[in-house]
């Protein structure tokens, strides 16, 4: 079953126009953050979205959580479109789709004690867990994420980064969700702490049969933890498939370049020269015509400058948006 289905999702941001625009009719600047994104997440899988700044992966995550309004397209949760849900179904969606935000510090209200922060889900959805069992559940979650009970009476700033992250995880699990959006769960954390968090997330996934949408720019972690990966560039998914296969045998030139750019830990005697990708990501306000990647693509040909490639199924669980996939 697909927990999440996204069809032709589109989100543009409009920069407010100034007087010149209003008077001379020049349109406001449009930031094409997300253009025609479609993918599914099967129950029990970890789906990763990777890409560099401006690719739109965070925007997609926030659209799926209905934190920002989409321009066009549909989002389905357990088969039901968000737009068409009844109030009860929408409540169910809110209880079952949780969010672990990127910034572990500002995702915790600095004026609230941890116990209050963890009890908030119950105040928003009273009745999901019996009132008498709320306290027990909070304590259980705190324990599960590796903190001790004393944490409940402390303020967020009294904790280290890794611990703050764990509090966020505990909060996400409070209502027993089926699906969690994890926005850069390991960014800003030290290597050893990051490893511990990854292990934790993995254990929790197995224990509670969770489904993850894992947003990250850290390809090494993504390679380790995800089942499927979608590579995004300038608001589009340009490749999507099984993680192992995409990493071992990328079909899109950008995926290939991205994977090659990662400083991989090597035990070789000589320093390896990394193959670099030229140029910079173009501005999402004025994306290049045709394939958005063509100006930087070493394989580009005439067609690439004119026609926008569509994400196509290449068989074997792989979709690529390229006229001349590798």
Partner 1 sequence: MAENLLEIEKLKIIYKRREKRFLALDCVNLDLKEGEVLGVVGESGSGKSTLGLSIMRLLPPQARIKNGEIFFKGKNICKINEKKFNREMRGKEITYIPQNPQSSLNPVFKVGRQLKDIIKYRAQENFQGQDINKAAVEIMTKMGIADAEKRLDEYPHQFSGGMKQRVLLSMAFVTNPALLIADEPTTALDVTVEAQILGLLADLIKEYQSSIIYITHDLGVVSEIADRVAVFYAGRVIELNNRYNIFNNPKHPYTEALINCLPGDKQSEKLNVIPGEIPDLSDLPGGCNFHPRCKYAKERCRNEKPEFFELENGGRTACFYHEEVGRYQ
Partner 2 sequence: MNKYIYIKKKIKWVYERMIGDYRFYIAGVIIFLFFLMAIFGPQIAPHDPYKTDVRSRLEAPSLTHPAGTDSLGRDTLSRLIYAARPAFYVAFGGLFISIIVGMILGSIAAYSGGILDNIIIFLFDVIRAFPPIILILVLVAIVGPSLQSLIIILGVTIMPRYGRVVRAETLSVKEEEYVSVAKSMGASSFKIISFHIIPNIFASVLVLAGMDVASMIMWEAGLSFLGLGVQPPKTSWGVMLQSGYQYIEKAPMMLVAPAVAIMLTMMGFSLLTESLRNALNPKSEQKEG
Cβ proximity to partner 1: between 130 and 268 the closer is 268
* 152: contact with partner 2 by CB under 8 A: yes
Cβ proximity to partner 1: between 6 and 204 the closer is 204
Q: Terminus-to-terminus CA distance in the chain, angstroms?
A: 31
Q: Which helix (H) or strand (E) holds 181?
A: strand 179-183
Show contacts with partner 2 in window 265-284 (CB under 8 A): none
Q: Are strands 80-81 and 72-77 parallel, antiparallel or unpaired?
A: antiparallel
* 110: contact with partner 2 by CB under 8 A: yes
Q: Judged by CB under 8 A, how many residues of this single chain contact partner 2?
A: 50
Contact partners, residue 34, CB within 8 Å, separation at least 6: 9, 10, 11, 12, 56, 59, 60, 63, 235
Show contacts with partner 1 in window 270-289 (CB under 8 A): 271-278, 280-281
CA 310 vs. chain centroid, Å, equals: 22
Cβ proximity to partner 2: between 157 and 269 the closer is 157
34-38-43-49 Cα dihedral, nearest 10 degrees: -40
Beta-sheet strand order (sheet of 30-42) = 30-42, 2-14, 72-77, 80-81
Selection from 303, 320, 302 nearest residue 311 by Cα: 320
d(CA 33, CA 292): 13
Selection from 324, 314, 262, 316 nearest residue 293 by Cα: 324
Q: At its nearest, how many Å lie between partner 2 and the CB of residue 152? A: 6
DSSP letter at 229 equals E
* 219: contact with partner 1 by CB under 8 A: yes
Cβ proximity to partner 1: between 128 and 195 the closer is 195
Cβ proximity to partner 2: between 126 and 279 the closer is 126
Which one of 133, 160, 248, 279 is in contact with partner 2 (CB under 8 A)?
A: 160
Residue 276: CB atoms within 10 A of its CB come to 9
Show contacts with partner 1 in window 28-57 (CB under 8 A): 52-53
Q: Write each residue from 176 to 215 as x if it is in contact with partner 1 (CB under 8 A), else as -, in one continuous string.
A: --------------xxxxxxx-xx--x-------------
* 16: contact with partner 2 by CB under 8 A: no
Q: At its nearest, how many Å lie between partner 2 and the CB of residue 55? A: 20
d(CA 151, CA 142): 8
Contact range with partner 1 by CB under 8 A, out of 93-101, 112-120, 254-262, 309-317? 254-262
Cβ proximity to partner 2: between 188 and 295 the closer is 188
Q: At its nearest, how many Å lie between partner 1 and the CB of residue 221? A: 6
Which one of 262, 288, 299, 314 is in contact with partner 1 (CB under 8 A)?
A: 262
* 154: contact with partner 1 by CB under 8 A: no
d(CA 167, CA 115): 10
| Contact positions vs partner 1 (CB under 8 A) | 52-53, 160-162, 190-196, 198-199, 202, 217, 219-221, 223-225, 244, 257-258, 260-269, 271-278, 280-281
């Amino acid at each position: 079953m697909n927990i999440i289905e996204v069809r032709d999702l589109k989100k543009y941001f409009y920069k407010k126009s100034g007087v010149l625009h209003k008077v001379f009719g020049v349109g406001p600047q449009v930031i094409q953050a997300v253009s025609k994104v479609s993918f599914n997440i099967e129950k029990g899988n970890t789906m990763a979205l990777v890409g560099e700044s401006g690719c739109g992966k965070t925007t997609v995550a926030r659209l799926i959580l209905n934190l920002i309004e989409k321009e066009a397209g549909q989002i389905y949760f357990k088969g039901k479109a968000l737009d068409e849900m009844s109030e009860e179904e929408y409540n169910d969606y809110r209880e079952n789709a949780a969010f672990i935000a990127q910034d572990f510090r500002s995702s915790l209200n600095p004026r609230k004690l941890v116990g209050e922060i963890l009890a908030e889900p119950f105040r928003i959805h009273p009745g999901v867990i019996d009132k008498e069992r709320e306290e027990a559940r909070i304590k259980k979650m705190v324990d599960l994420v590796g903190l001790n009970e004393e944490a409940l009476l402390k303020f967020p700033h009294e904790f280290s980064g890794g611990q703050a992250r764990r509090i966020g995880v505990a909060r996400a699990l409070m209502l027993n969700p089926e699906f969690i959006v994890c926005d850069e769960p390991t960014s800003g954390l030290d290597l050893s702490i990051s490893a511990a968090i990854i292990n934790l997330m993995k254990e929790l996934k197995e224990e509670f049969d969770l489904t993850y949408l894992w947003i990250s720019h850290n390809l090494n972690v993504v390679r380790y933890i995800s089942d499927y990966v979608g590579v995004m560039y300038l608001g589009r998914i340009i490749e999507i498939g099984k993680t192992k296969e995409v990493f071992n045998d990328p079909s899109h030139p950008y995926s290939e370049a991205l994977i090659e750019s990662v400083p991989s830990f090597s035990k070789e005697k000589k320093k390896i020269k990394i193959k670099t990708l030229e140029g910079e990501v173009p501005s999402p306000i004025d994306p290049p015509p045709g394939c958005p990647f063509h100006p930087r693509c070493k394989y580009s040909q005439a067609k690439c400058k004119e026609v926008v490639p569509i994400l196509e199924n290449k068989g074997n669980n792989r979709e690529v948006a390229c006229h001349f996939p590798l």
